[in-house]
Chains A and B, each alone.
Chain A
Amino acid sequence: MEIRHDEAKKELQISLSIFWDDWERYLDETQPSDKIVNYQDDSKEATLLFENYLKQHLRFSIDNQPKTFEYLGREYDLDVMYGYLLIKNIETFQAIEIKNTVLTDFIPDQQNIIHLITANGRKSSMTDADKPKAVLKTN
């Protein structure tokens, strides 16, 4: 996951990627088998499923204030699905806390790497099933 602070626009631009193999596995394990969601189509049903999943599995708080995010959409290539999120009205901040349980709920050894890019440079951290929270400071 890459979180980029755009100071001019006062927003956090978030992009994340998930391997199709992993996502398909999630769909296989959780969807009724008689109802096949066409994984790579752009139907409302398919994208809503992804949006809801992210809303359940991602929490952000900035300087200890919980923030909601807007889901902008997704795109995909042959192997990877990319999701785009936005958190608005963010001027300067000291720290962001991310709780990320994406994929770790059904792939126990999944690790999610997080990069934060601000005017002060680049910071990285990682979350996994044992440690779903990460705090990244801007300086």
Chain B
Amino acid sequence: MYKTFYYYLLSSLLLLSSAAFSQETPERAPGHEDINKFKQMYDLLATPNTFRTASGAPGPDYYQQQADYKMDIELDDANQKLYGEETITYTNKSPDVLEFLWVQLDQNVRSKDSKSLLIENSSAPFITTPGRFADQFLKDPFDGGFNIEHVKDINGKDLPVVINQTMMRVDLPTPLAPGQAYSFKIKWWYNINNHVTDRARSGYEHFEKDGNNAYVIAQFFPRMAVYNDVEGWQNHQFWGSGEFALPFGNYEVNITVPADHILDGTGVLQNRKEVFSKEMLKRYEQAMNSYDEPVLIVTQEEAEAAEKSFSDKKKTWKLKAENVRDFAFATSRRFVYDMMAVDINGKRVMAVSMYPKEGNPLWEDWSTKAVASTLKSYSKYTFDYPYHKAISVHARNQGMEYPMICWNYGRPDENGKISDRVRFGMYGVIIHEVGHNFFPMIVNSDERQWAWMDEGINTFVQYLAEQEFGERYPEALVGEKTYDKYPSRRGPAANIVPYMSGDQSFITPIMANPEYVRQLGNNAYGKPATALNILRETVMGPDLFDKAFQTYSRRWMFKHPTPDDFFRTMEDASAVDLDWFWRGWFFTTDYVDIRLKEVKKLYITSEPTAKVKAFAEENNIDLSKQGPLVYTTTEEEADFNPALKSGNLVASATSLKAYADENLSAAEKAKLPQAKFMYELTFDRPGGLVMPLIVAYTYADGTTEEVRYPAQIWAKSNDKVTKVLITDKEITKITVDPKLETADIDVSNNTWPREEKPTRFDNFRNQN
């Protein structure tokens, strides 16, 4: 592309167009506030302070509370009840005096008088099964809320408490001063729910054939709420959608289960020799040194043998975890159990899987490898995985994350058939839930307030990790079909178009609370993940993005970041002004639709065209007194002189030729014959989001060139952009966003000449 002359031409054209404007007397429009898309975000971000700096880092006065737990837990497998006694030691590292503490009782969301049930809408289905009808309308609700037996101080004296739904206020005998710690005890039990029929995050799956249960147990104990500089106490109730906000702490947990159960959970197992058989210990030693293939600690045959007997003996598994924000475990006598070592920059981490036989053959083949691949990918983009293990547990139909352990779906059908949907669903959920170790288990954002900060950021890294999983294990991409790259659901820009082009009444901005957003999956997972992917690949480029993203992760690992900290850090470490991007993508429901509105093929001449003459006459301009001028014209104008199509722009305008001969350097003159074609392109923006303008030009000789204009091309005029091009080859085709990078919701207006793309319908019909 050859652009030298643009400025000369522009200045002469400006002379005429400013004359045209001066003739107009528009009506005076009312004033307005700053509505520019590039307006800085002072109106949206919190004022920086000594807790959180303007650069997005923790400030000199940043603090966070600590909650340490010592717990004895017992499972009653026969009756599906869970009993616990815990001592919480809460350390007040804030500068504030606390009169009371808030403790979260998440299981109360399942108490039979839960207000969560009251806010559920119910309507009569057109068609349903008798069982579902009875469950929904006839049966008493399941009572799965906490039964708090006592709350006592360390000396055994009852403490006054008030329970408000899922939050319990513990009134302290004396206020807790900064720097002080307070210990208290809670004894509790609850009925464990069936998470399969309940569609819950925690509970058991029942296996009818042999009468066994597989437990995946989480948010099962009264947990401290977060107290911090942005929320005070985060005691927003748990209604079901908004997940968790939790302080870091150390855990010592003893869990007593039937002696024939296999258990694993958050933390380092303290008594492996007591709970593992000799054979298991031997295999564990092998697994510690197996970096390529998982080693079975409990085989399917052993799990099948175990499912037939129900031991009446008990065994206690002792786990200890440091600097975690939560604790969860899984236990069953039906679990197959395998492990493999992963090298994270020289540190050994164990990738672990636990699954009932129903998960096979998919799970023994791929779960542990997916865990290992995820740890490697995430460590590369954030920080080295700091814990010693990551466990993937197979649960029937849910995916849920906790520190070092998560539950994942993906089960072959009864005949052992694995559809691609199940296969990639299983890989994807494992990568996603293991990835949650990084966000929010370590980069500990407030899920109750901002679902996107963990789900969206995590889904973004999940996309990178999925692609790398496919590269590491090409054989994993062979299912019913063979894929040449991992078919990621979320991440590629084009995949978010159906959502962003949808009915606006069902779309909420990303910056919203998860309890009221519409379409949570698209809102908190899909759209932010896609936005970050576009930011990385198209707006910032991987180098600038990756460093900034890593800076955010490292600044906030083992801390509590807010959205502002993320937005600020991404700019702080990259020098890319992103206010327009955050404002548009995160604070509005605007969408991208950039249109190639008009393409004019222009010629230049020294002879005044009819159009110019008419303009001059109307405005009393004597063209002969203006000195040498250059005029542009098009083939569509009635007095167009075909001789102008000589193929040399400059030669066809004598005034310009004379100017060039006199004023241009020898090197510039040498390039003049290359100036053969001239175009004026107009782009506009039916969509609300500004984005980089990516244009592919195809020339008559078949070559193509892609030009990437930064988003700031829209800065002065948010609505319309005009570009003049001078080229040495004729342009035959122009395409905006040719690789579908920007989530443009209507690409039918992106091409010149306009192209009728075959519809999905046409494609189907032609193939069948």
Instruction: Identify the A interface with B (CB < 8 A).
Output: 2, 4, 13-15, 20, 29-30, 36, 38-40, 72-73, 75, 77-79, 82, 84, 101, 104-106, 108-109, 111, 113, 126, 129
CB under 8 Å from chain A, chain B span 596-622: none
The 8 Å CB contact of A38, one of B121, B413, B503, is B413
12 contacts between A and B (CB under 8 A): A29-B129, A30-B127, A30-B129, A72-B764, A72-B768, A78-B424, A79-B421, A79-B489, A109-B121, A111-B503, A113-B503, A129-B126
Residues of B within 8 A of A30 (CB): 127, 129
Besides A15-B761, A20-B421, A40-B480, 11 more A-B contacts (Cβ < 8 Å) are A2-B759, A4-B759, A13-B761, A13-B762, A15-B764, A36-B415, A40-B420, A73-B768, A75-B764, A108-B123, A126-B503
* A22 vs chain B, min Cβ distance (A): 13
Main secondary structure of the interface of B (DSSP, over half): loop
Residues of A within 8 A of B425 (CB): 78
Given contacts A15-B759, A72-B768, A84-B764, contact A78 B413 (CB under 8 A): no
Residues of A within 8 A of B420 (CB): 40, 78
Chain B 98-137, CB-CB to A under 8 Å as 1, else 0, gives 0000000000000000000000010101111100100000
* Cβ-defined contact, B127 with A29, below 8 A: yes
Residues of A within 8 A of B417 (CB): 38
Q: What residue of chain A has the Cβ atom nearest to residue B498's Cβ?
A: A17
Chain B 409-424, CB-CB to A under 8 Å as 1, else 0, gives 0000111010111001
CB under 8 Å from chain A, chain B span 733-768: 759-762, 764-765, 768
Q: What residue of chain A has the Cβ atom nearest to residue B423's Cβ?
A: A78
Chain B 390-415, CB-CB to A under 8 Å as 1, else 0, gives 00000000000000000000000111
* Cβ-defined contact, B759 with A40, below 8 A: no
Given contacts A15-B759, A15-B761, A78-B489, contact A106 B424 (CB under 8 A): no
Given contacts A36-B414, A113-B502, A113-B503, contact A13 B759 (CB under 8 A): yes
Q: What residue of chain A has the Cβ atom nearest to residue B420's Cβ?
A: A78
* B473 vs chain A, min Cβ distance (A): 18
The 8 Å CB contact of A36, one of B129, B413, B421, B480, is B413
A75 to B763, CA, bound (A): 11
* Cβ-defined contact, B421 with A78, below 8 A: yes
* A79 vs chain B, min Cβ distance (A): 6
A39 to B502, CA, bound (A): 27
A15 to B764, CA, bound (A): 10
* A71 vs chain B, min Cβ distance (A): 12
* Cβ-defined contact, B765 with A72, below 8 A: yes
Residues of B within 8 A of A104 (CB): 126
Residues of A within 8 A of B419 (CB): 38-40
Of B420, B487, B760, the most chain A CB neighbours within 10 A belong to B760
Given contacts A108-B125, A111-B503, contact A78 B768 (CB under 8 A): no
Residues of B within 8 A of A126 (CB): 503
* Cβ-defined contact, A73 with B759, below 8 A: no
Residues of A within 8 A of B123 (CB): 108, 129
* B520 vs chain A, min Cβ distance (A): 13
* B519 vs chain A, min Cβ distance (A): 11
* Cβ-defined contact, B764 with A40, below 8 A: no
* Cβ-defined contact, B764 with A106, below 8 A: no
Chain B 124-165, CB-CB to A under 8 Å as 1, else 0, gives 011111001000000000000000000000000000000000
Given contacts A72-B765, A111-B503, A126-B503, contact A82 B127 (CB under 8 A): no
Q: What residue of chain B has the Cβ atom nearest to residue A3's Cβ?
A: B761
Residues of B within 8 A of A111 (CB): 503, 506
The 8 Å CB contact of A4, one of B129, B489, B761, B764, is B761
Q: What residue of chain B has the Cβ atom nearest to residue A26's Cβ?
A: B127
Q: What residue of chain B has the Cβ atom nearest to residue A108's Cβ?
A: B123
Residues of A within 8 A of B765 (CB): 13, 72, 84
CB under 8 Å from chain A, chain B span 67-124: 121, 123
* Cβ-defined contact, A78 with B487, below 8 A: yes
* B414 vs chain A, min Cβ distance (A): 6
Residues of B within 8 A of A14 (CB): 761
Residues of B within 8 A of A129 (CB): 123, 126
The 8 Å CB contact of A73, one of B414, B760, B764, is B764
Q: What residue of chain A has the Cβ atom nearest to residue B129's Cβ?
A: A29
Residues of A within 8 A of B128 (CB): 29, 106
Residues of A within 8 A of B480 (CB): 40
* B123 vs chain A, min Cβ distance (A): 4
* Cβ-defined contact, B125 with A105, below 8 A: yes
A113 to B127, CA, bound (A): 22
Residues of A within 8 A of B489 (CB): 78-79
The 8 Å CB contact of B132, one of A29, A84, A113, is A29
A15 to B121, CA, bound (A): 32
A38 to B129, CA, bound (A): 21
A13 to B765, CA, bound (A): 10
Residues of B within 8 A of A13 (CB): 759, 761-762, 765
Residues of B within 8 A of A15 (CB): 759-761, 764
* Cβ-defined contact, A105 with B414, below 8 A: no
Residues of A within 8 A of B503 (CB): 111, 113, 126
Of B126, B420, B489, B762, the most chain A CB neighbours within 10 A belong to B126
A30 to B425, CA, bound (A): 23
Q: Which 10 A-B pairs have the closest CB atoms?
A: A105-B126, A108-B123, A13-B761, A15-B761, A40-B419, A84-B764, A78-B421, A105-B127, A15-B760, A78-B424
* B289 vs chain A, min Cβ distance (A): 37
Residues of B within 8 A of A79 (CB): 421, 489
Residues of B within 8 A of A101 (CB): 126
Residues of B within 8 A of A40 (CB): 419-421, 480
* A125 vs chain B, min Cβ distance (A): 10
* B553 vs chain A, min Cβ distance (A): 29
Given contacts A29-B129, A36-B413, A72-B768, contact A82 B502 (CB under 8 A): no
The 8 Å CB contact of B125, one of A38, A39, A77, A106, is A106
Residues of A within 8 A of B424 (CB): 78
A13 to B758, CA, bound (A): 12
Residues of B within 8 A of A106 (CB): 125-128
